Structure 1
Amino acid sequence: MLQVIKCWVLLTLCLTPFFSQASRSHFEYLLHKSYPERVLLTDSLAFPEILKMPYSSAIKFMTAIEEKALANGDNGLYCEMKLMHLHYFDFKELTNIDSTISQLIELRRWAQKNKLPEYDICASFDLANNFYRKRDYLAAFENYIRVCDTLGKLPAASFPRKKEFLVFIANRYYNFGDAPSAKALLLDADSLPPTISNSLYRTNFNNKNTLGLIYRNEARYDSALYCFRKVAQMAKSANDTNWEGIAQGNIGIIYYLQKKYNLAIPLLEQEVKTGATVQHQFNDSWVNSALILAEIYLLQNQAANAEEYISMAAKNIKNTLDTLKYKGMLYHAMAILNFKEKQYQVSYLYSDSAAYYKDSVVRRDNKLLLNNARQKAEAQKHFNALKELYANRKMLILVRNSSIIFFCGLLVIGVLLWNRMRLKHTIRQNKLALEKALAEQELKSTTEQLNIFTRHLLEKNVIIERTEEQIQYLKNRLDDTLSVSDENEILTRLYQSTILTEEQWDEFKQLFNRVHKGFLLRLKEKIPGLSPAETRFVVMCKLKLNNREMASLMGVQPDSLRTYRHRLRKKLNLSDEEALEAIIDTI
């Protein structure tokens, strides 16, 4: 509370020079203010002062500020004065709704063009209220939805009337029978701090009070009691007896619903007493409490007290907004009262009237619910269409921008890809050249190793030949001391001492496969069932060795080679004229 008083003092000090200058047509104190500052200057003090002026002076004053705002490039002040013009005409009851709607639509366009979201909200809010007064509820709630959506994007600090607007729209939803939407907005508003404006207390009271009504209708009595007690506390602090009485009456109705009549009666009586002595805009509330009191007293067989409150309600029922509802309650109470007084005929007539009004209320409410559902469906449909249109517009802009980015990106990617492909081609060519050089080097090295290995074996053949010569020489000198069998045995051992061992054969095969890749595998596929000796014979043929070299390497007599050739010819179905070596070369 202390903080609120400080704000008012500061505001008064700020505006004192403004009004002293305003009388001399100087408006510098209004120029180039932020929206929160401008709201404090115009809504709290400027507008009330303008209302005190004669009509012609007020119009001249506001027009002069508009012109000054445009001349100084202050678009926000220009919008504020345009709204003030319309509010002034409305307050003086000089408004033409259709003309006002047209001006507000134009003002909203202007605010959007100049990127003033605060005045986009204000224009949409006033548009919604004018459509509501015109009973064009579809257009009204379409604009209320627009206001709520835009409000959600602005913090309360930059839009001080945020709470006030949310509470007002929530009450529209509540009166229209849409309690869930009203509750969501009220809870959102309840989380916001109070604002400094003429409607500060009204906003805070309405927020908690309507939220309490929703909780009460949901039978959440503890939450409802909390809200109503909060309203009573705030009203007492503000010395607002009207709202304090309303809050006490709402608490009393909760006790009535809980059948705690002794707690309900004093609270309801307090509201009725306040409402009956002070004429205010909340007649519905205290008349409702008076009729509930009458019902309680009838239940307690206190006819005199019941009759007193029935009489009070009957005198003021014409001043209520929901006359049908309260007439139904009134005639129901009068029917019970007359029944208890044994005026059965009169009681029957009042019962009939009560039934008529209650049926009228039901029909009206059903019609309203149906109309609300239809309006809500149409509003949602229209809102979805607008949303889709907005989404399509955004999509077109996105497609355009994406296309530009895409083609520019495509050009950059094309250049990068061309350079990348050129680089990859160069790298691939270098890699192939390197692999070719390495392969040629490896083949050369392997061929040399195979030649060395073969040459080494051939050198052994030379040793064998010399050994044979020595044997022949020794044989001649020993005068035939060696038998033929002994001689053959010695020769066989010599031949066998030069054949390839398994280890040498494996080494030989590795070298051979590196020079003639896949030859042994293709040989097995072409001539299956070859023995190891036949395989070695074919390998020797592939190396173009002569019979003596092959016999030496295989450890057999040269004559044995004919046997291998014969077997291979048979397996290959070769005639005597066909060369075996030529077939081996094709493998």
Structure 2
Amino acid sequence: MNKKRKTRIIFIFFLLLGLLMGIIIYKNKKKPIIAHNESVYKEYIKSIDSLLAYDKDKAREKIEVFYKTVLEKQDTLWLAYVYNYKAEIKQGSALFYLNKARVYAQKINDSILMGKIDYKIGNLYNSGNKYVISLEYYLNADKIFFNKEHLNGLGHVNNMLGSVYFSVNEYHKASVYYNKAEKYFKQIKDTLGEAISLTNKSRVLLKTNKYDLARKDLLKALSVFENLADTTKIIHTLLFLGDTEHNDRNSKLSLFYTDRAYEMALKSKDTLLEKHILLHYGQIYERYDYDKAIQFYEKGIKEGKEEMIDLDSFKNLAILWIQKNEYKKAYKYMERYYQLSDSIKGFEVRSKMEELQWKNELQQQHFENQLLKKESEINKQNYKNRFIIYTILTIFIISVIGLLYFNKVKSSRIIKLENNNLLTKIEFEKELKELREKEFKEELAAKARELNGINIQLLAKNQFFKEVRHILEKSTEYENIEIMAKELWLQLDKLDNQEQDWEQFKEVFEKIHPTFFETISKEAPALTKTEMRICAYIKINMDNSEIATLLNIGHRSLITIRSRIRKKLNLERDKSLECFIKSW
């Protein structure tokens, strides 16, 4: 009783100790963020992303099917992604679908998706020259990607932030963001992203008259775009190279690059780019052919898309008309230039952009301070937890050592007693086993004798039948015994019934080999009753002549039946039928 009590106390102590350690570890364990249905949608989204890059028509078809399926299921996560994709194929309603996607992304708390949506909304406002609103969305996406360490997203967002500041002539800030984008793309070894950053940087270098550096970056980017066969980016890069050469007074080379860009735009049937390139032709010809320059400028402005028209094109066209003393026409384009210039580069726009920039930087600083504070608190808590755990472990180790020491003496005594009991048990079990084996052998021998007795009876009976039939066959030669022969044949047919003898044999056989018939039925269900009987006779070592006599059949008939058994058992030629059957 005393021993049981001590064991219970020790068990309760270690149980409480384990629970205490478990609670400490659980409290300090970070809860993982589980992605909703990630295993289901990941591959589907990947395929759509690939199609959007290379085959927009197929992507559009797949997105429409995706959209219908998701509306039926009303899966929040899928709705967030499907509206995001709908914005790609429904340009006129892109903002509507992106706002819907953002709502669902917030519901499922998918920060990365929210960052991507904000980036796309920023692109929409940026293309409409609404730089303040676009800057707000870009900064929000930048904050999300920074917190999640999403380097690819950071690269793209910083490229667009640089473009916003470039559009309002903030070249230093634009350069800072372009350099950051290039750094992020280099870290993830994204050559395409890096090439885009180089192209954007060259625009700043061009504005600051660093033509050699701009030319070097553009040629490097052009090589990447040509390897990727990205026609649109090749055209833009060729136009930037043309601008670089134009500003560096290399008119022929400038015209060469612009011609290449125009040819590619015609081949790709990109009408918007075609019209935009006309403005670049106007810029080239304004130095030595005013009429041709005016023709290109006016056609590009008239037929081109407004967001693709460079602001300086209006100013340059106005100056050309002044040179030709057409002041009314010059006034129209100069007025348009100042209207757009004020809307893009006005004081109010700059102030709002500065405000957003400072607000974002203050939020970022506040976030970093909070992060440092949390890290400090976590470190302190971890130190306390480690101290508690080490203390508990020390007590635990000392307790275990003490327990082992006190149990050592008891264990040695118990082992001795157990060894003695074990030896006695082994001897008893050995004797019991020998008795059982002896009993089993005697029983087996008795059954075998009984089985052999039945077989001998059967053999004698069948031999008797053969002899009687032989006599009867001869008796037909005598006319006076014909009636007697018929009666005797009738009696023999009644007696020639092996079924009762077989059932008696089977009953004894199953006592010796209880699973034989069950096994043979599973291995070869197609075997007939006679074939199963032959298998049973083979099992008890009967030879072919004995089996033929017992079944009252000829030797050749038995060989034929054995052949059929081999086929049904799928036995190869080199394998023995006897060995196979005896293995059951």
TM-score by length of 1: 0.47
Structure with bigger gyration radius:
1
